[in-house]
Chain A
């Protein structure tokens, strides 16, 4: 079974631009979570989705948003990029919501110049 896939793997943007990252969960998985990883703050929870509904959100500004589609694929969007948004963005999936092990994708490395 294929793992979690994230596209693109690497991305370079400039300040003020917006970006959309994509995550395809493991086949059959219905829950998707997103995390941001930076050297200074480590791994931090962004939000999670199940059945196209956002179930929980971390402590990030409104510039960070996401959505989940009926096929469980998820996207996250960051608007008005700042230098501090440079990070590894990780997506994780699990079969259901809140009770199972979640499996991480390889991440998208975003660099903001």
Chain B
């Protein structure tokens, strides 16, 4: 399974865009990039996933570089409720397993 590297922490001002980077330089062609977040002591919450095209949903946008070696999760207008640990995960599309390998994630703190 491809490994991911994320900065341990980031701050963002409320109302501004939060851009969370993830490096996955060993990603394979059939591996998706998934993002989850975990608000203190709750279960991880699914945010978005993508293969190679940029994706957007009601929560966030996912920008994947052309070589797919890195991606950025964008929260367009961060609020205090977005303070959480954000995990970037890569997994094969047809892996036959849900063995997600979580890294240490990025602790995002949204400041008032």
- Name A residues whose Cβ lies closer than 8 Å to a Cβ of B: 4, 31, 33, 35, 42-45, 48, 55-56, 58, 88, 90, 92, 94, 97-99, 101-107, 109
- Establish whether residues A99 and B44, one from each chain, have CB atoms under 8 Å apart when the complex forms: no
* Cα–Cα distance between A31 and B97 once the two chains are bound (Å): 10
Contact A99 B94 (CB under 8 A): yes
**Stretch of B9-17, B21-29, B69-77, B99-107 lying at the A interface:** B99-107
Contact in complex: B41, A88 (CB < 8 Å): yes
Q: A42-B104, A99-B94 are in contact. Are A56 and B43 (CB under 8 A)?
A: no
Total contacts A-B at CB 8 Å: 63
7 example contacts (A-B, Cβ-Cβ < 8 A) are as follows: A33-B98, A35-B102, A42-B102, A43-B87, A56-B97, A94-B98, A104-B46
Known: A42-B104, A101-B49. A90 touches B99 (CB 8 A): no
Excluding A45-B100, A48-B97, 8 further A-B contacts by CB distance (< 8 Å) are A33-B98, A35-B100, A35-B102, A42-B104, A44-B102, A99-B94, A107-B41, A107-B43
Q: Which of B36, B43, B46 is close to A105, meaning CB atoms less than 8 Å apart?
A: B43
Contacts of A88 in B (CB 8 A): 41
